Structure 1
C-alpha cells in the first residue's frame, strides 16, 4: 500500500499554556534537536471592496518575506489544515490588495521531533489598532502517520484542538469586526467524479468540521442550536460510515463509530430535554400559567436539562472529545481502512438507495395502525434512508431529487413529532414525585393527544411518499 503524502496539521491551544508547551514531557520525549526561535510578524491584506475574502482568499506576507495569496477558507476537508497557498488558477498576488486586516506580532519556535516530524509553535497576538486577540498555534509537519500519531499523543494530555478557523480567517474577522466564518456547515456537497473512497473521505472531513464548529456552542449551553446541530452532524456521520461499509471498512472506522455512539448518548438527553421544554413544556406552561403543580414539573424538567448539559460539557472539555476529532482527521489523512469497491460513486449510491427504499416500502401503504414498536422501527428506517438520500442527491442534481426529499422529509417530520411525544412521555414519568402526579398525568394525556394527531398526518404523508419516483432511478 502506498503511504499517504506528508501532511501539515495545525492545532490551537490556550495562549496561557504556550510558554510552557515545548517543555511538556510529551514533547520533551520526542525532541530530536535544539529549538530555534525568532520574532515573527505576519500581515494579512484584502482589496478595499473585500472581494478576496468573499472568495475565501487573502494576501499573507511575513516581514522580510514575499507576499502570497492564501486560502483563508481552505476547501480541504481536513479539520486541522492551516491556510494554504491559493491554487494556481486563482492567480498571482493582486497589486490592489492593500487593505490591512490585521497583523500578527509574536514569535515562532521550530523544534525537530522524532520520526521526521517538525513542530512550529506560534505565539503572540493578532492586532488591529487598539484591538488585540491572543493567539497560540502548534503546527506539525512531516510523514502523515507520524504527524497524526504525534498530535494524538500530545492531545491526550494537552488541550490541543483543531482550529475552527485559520489565522488568516481570524485576521479577516478582526479586521471586519465579526466572528470567523464557518468553513463548512450542513450536509456535504458531493462530486460525481469522486471515487467511493474519496467520497467517504470527503464526507468524514466535512461532517467532522461541522461537529467541531458547533461544539463550543453546545458547551456554552445558552442556546439549543449547538446540541441540535452536533446531533444532526453526528447522525449523518454515523449513517455515512455505516452506509459505506460494503465498500470501505476497517477497525479504525468501527472504533470511531463506537466513540461517536458514546457521544450520541450524551447529546441525546440534552436534545430531548430541549425539545420537551421548547415544545410540550412551553405548551403546558402556557395553558396552565398559574398552576403551582405544573410550574414545579417544569422546574424539575429544567433541572434535568441542566444536568444533561453538565454531563455533555464535561465530555466536550475532556481528552476523549479532543481525541475523537483528531481520530476523524486521521481517517481523512491516512485512510486506515480496506477498500472493497472502487467504481463510480453513483453506482454505489444507487444500489444502496434502492435497497433502503425497498426496505422502507415493504411495510405497505397503510401505517396508521401499526403497533408502536413497528411504527418506531419504520421511523428509524425512514431516517436512515433520508440521511443517505440527502447525502447522495447532489450526484443527480438537487433539483431532480427535491420532490422526493420533500415528501420523505414530510413523513419524517410527522413521525418525528409522534416520537417526540413518546420521548416526552418517558421524560415526564420520572418527574412525578418532583412535579406531582397530577401534573405528570396532565402532561402524559397531552402527549398522547399530540402523538395521535401526528400519527394521522404521518399516514397521509406516507401515501404521498409511496407515490414518488426515486430520483436515482429516473432516466
Structure 2
C-alpha cells in the first residue's frame, strides 16, 4: 500500500529533477581531547596515508568585541592575526539557513559589522596561542589536507588547553577518515567554535550551543532546503545535549536529547519519498540505537521524580514504600551507567559523525531515485500543507470515540498527536504566525495530556518490574500502580477537553 503521508505527482506538480551537483570539497572540524592529540599521527588511518613531511608553525589568534559585547550578541566575533589582519566570523551559525556539526565558522565581509559598532573601540576578549601542524593524507578519491591546532585559549583570569583537527578534501574521504579516527580516539564534532569557547572562557560561563530547539524553515523554499536546514539544525541540537547527561545532572539533558532525536526521525519519515536512498535509513538506524539507551534513563527519571516522589510525599516514613523507591532509584542509576558508558564510547561517536555527515554531504541525494530528486525540488509550502492535512485527518479519525478508548487506542492517538505536532512545528514558519501559534499551543496541550497518560501506564509497568515475591514489595507495587491508575483517569478527562479545543480551532494551513 503506498504511503498516504507523502505527496505524489497527482497532488503536487513536481518539476523535473535537477542535475546532480558536481563533487565538491568538504571541510569538517574535529574536537579532540588535548591529551590525545599526540596519538593522532600514530593511528593506522593517518599513518598509512601520510604523504610528505608535516609543516609546523606557531599560531596566535586574538578575538575582539566592543566593551558591551555587541558582536557576541549578534553571534559574531572579530578575529585578529598577529600581523593585525582582522576577519569577521560567525561564532554561532546564522539563525536561518543551512549549517551542520563540524562546519567551519563562516567568514563575513568586514563591511557587515553591525551598524551600531563600526567605529566603536574594540577590546581583547581572549586569545589562542599554540601550534599549527599541516600535512597531506592520500585517498583514492583525492588528497585530504589536515591541519591540527594545539595550544591554549587564554583570557585574563582563565586558560584552557584545546586541540582541533580540520580535514579538507573529497567528502567521502573526509567522512571516512574522521570515522576511522573516532573509532580510536574521543573525536567529536565541536559543540562551539573556538571564538565562542574563548568568549565563554573569558566570562566564566558555558559556551552557547550552536543550535537549540526546533528548526525554523522560514527561509526554506524547497524540500531540499528543508532537508539541509532541518537535519543540520537538529543534529547540532542533539549533540549539544550529550554533555548535560548524567544521573546527578537532572533529567533535562536526556529529555532534550530525546526530543531532538524524535524531531529528526519525524522529519526523515515526513521526507521519506524525497530522500529514499540508503543514507537516511542508515541514519535512522543510528538514531534508534541512541534512543534505546536514552529511553530507560528517561523512564526511570519520570518514575522516580514524578509518581514515585508523589507517593513518597503522601506516605512519609512508610518502610515498604521507601524500600521500593530505593530499588527504583537503583534501576535509574543502572540505566544512567549504561547510557553514560555508551556516550563515552565509539558507538556514540560513530552516530555523532553520521549526524554531522548527513547534512554536510547532502547525503539524501546519494542513491536517490529520479522521483525523489524531483520531489526535492518541490516548493516546501505545498509539500508541507499536504502532509499536515494527512496527519490531521489521521488524528481526527483516531480521536473519534475518545471517551471510550482503551489504553492501547489512547496510546495510538498519542503517537498520532506527536507526529502531527512535530510536522506542524517543522512547517509552521511557512504560514501565518497567529494561527500557527494558537494551533501549536493547543496541540502541545493535547500531546502533553496524552503523554502523561502514557507515563502513568509506563509507571505501572516499571513498578511491576520491581517485584521480588515479598509481601512488602507487593504492597508497594499495589500502591504505586493504584496511584498511577487514578492519575490516568484524571488525565484522560484533561485529554478529552484539550482535543475538543483543538478540534474547534481547526488547522492553520
Shift of residue 94, structure 1, vs aligned partner: 4.5
- The normalised TM-score by structure 2 is 0.89
Q: Which has the higher contact order (CA 8 A, sep 6+)?
A: 2
Shift of residue 64, structure 1, vs aligned partner: 3.2
- Partner of 1:459 in structure 2? 496
**Is 2:235 aligned against 1:208?**
yes
- Partner of 1:106 in structure 2? 130
Change over 3 Å in CA distance of 1:67–1:88 after alignment to 2: closer
Which shows bigger deviation, 265-274 or 15-24? 15-24
* Aligned-residue CA RMSD (Å): 1.7
- Partner of 1:468 in structure 2? 505
Q: Provide the C-alpha distance between the structure 1 equivalents of 2:87 and 2:155, rounded to a whole number of angstroms.
A: 20
Change over 3 Å in CA distance of 1:397–1:318 after alignment to 2: farther
Which shows bigger deviation, 459-468 or 9-18? 459-468
Deviations 1:212-250 (A, max 9, x none): 000111146521100000010011010000111122221
- Partner of 1:25 in structure 2? 44
Residues 219, 316 of structure 1: 8 Å contact kept:
no
The counterpart of 2:398, out of the listed 353, 360, 363, is: 363
- Partner of 1:440 in structure 2? 477
Residues 88, 107 of structure 2: 8 Å contact kept:
yes
- Secondary structure at the aligned position of 1:112 is classed as strand
Change over 3 Å in CA distance of 1:168–1:234 after alignment to 2: same
Residues 4, 333 of structure 1: 8 Å contact kept:
no
Shift of residue 464, structure 1, vs aligned partner: 1.7
5 Å-filtered alignment, 1:228-377, equals 228-337=255-364, 338=368, 339-341=373-375, 342-377=377-412
Residues 43, 181 of structure 2: 8 Å contact kept:
no
Residues 66, 121 of structure 2: 8 Å contact kept:
yes
**Is 2:99 aligned against 1:62?**
no
Residues 246, 340 of structure 1: 8 Å contact kept:
no
Deviations 1:295-328 (A, max 9, x none): 0011000000011111111111111111112112
Q: Provide the C-alpha distance between the structure 2 equivalents of 1:42 and 1:364, rounded to a whole number of angstroms.
A: 60
Q: Provide the C-alpha distance between the structure 2 equivalents of 1:259 and 1:331, rounded to a whole number of angstroms.
A: 12
Change over 3 Å in CA distance of 1:174–1:192 after alignment to 2: closer
**Is 2:477 aligned against 1:450?**
no
Q: Provide the C-alpha distance between the structure 2 equivalents of 1:74 and 1:460, rounded to a whole number of angstroms.
A: 41
Residues 26, 168 of structure 2: 8 Å contact kept:
yes
Q: Which runs of 5+ in 2 are unaligned?
A: 1-19
Residues 8, 141 of structure 1: 8 Å contact kept:
yes
Q: Provide the C-alpha distance between the structure 1 equivalents of 2:269 and 2:346, rounded to a whole number of angstroms.
A: 25
Shift of residue 364, structure 1, vs aligned partner: 5.0
Residues 26, 170 of structure 2: 8 Å contact kept:
yes
Shift of residue 440, structure 1, vs aligned partner: 0.6
- Secondary structure at the aligned position of 2:132 is classed as strand
Deviations 1:340-388 (A, max 9, x none): 4021100110010001111111135430111221111111111111111
Q: Which runs of 5+ in 1 are unaligned?
A: none
- Partner of 1:71 in structure 2? 90
The counterpart of 2:184, out of the listed 157, 163, 168, is: 157
- Partner of 2:31 in structure 1? 12
The counterpart of 1:391, out of the listed 413, 422, 426, is: 426
- The normalised TM-score by structure 1 is 0.96
Residues 101, 128 of structure 1: 8 Å contact kept:
yes
- Partner of 2:105 in structure 1? 83
Change over 3 Å in CA distance of 1:235–1:349 after alignment to 2: same
- Secondary structure at the aligned position of 1:32 is classed as strand
* Aligned residues between the structures: 472
Residues 57, 86 of structure 1: 8 Å contact kept:
no
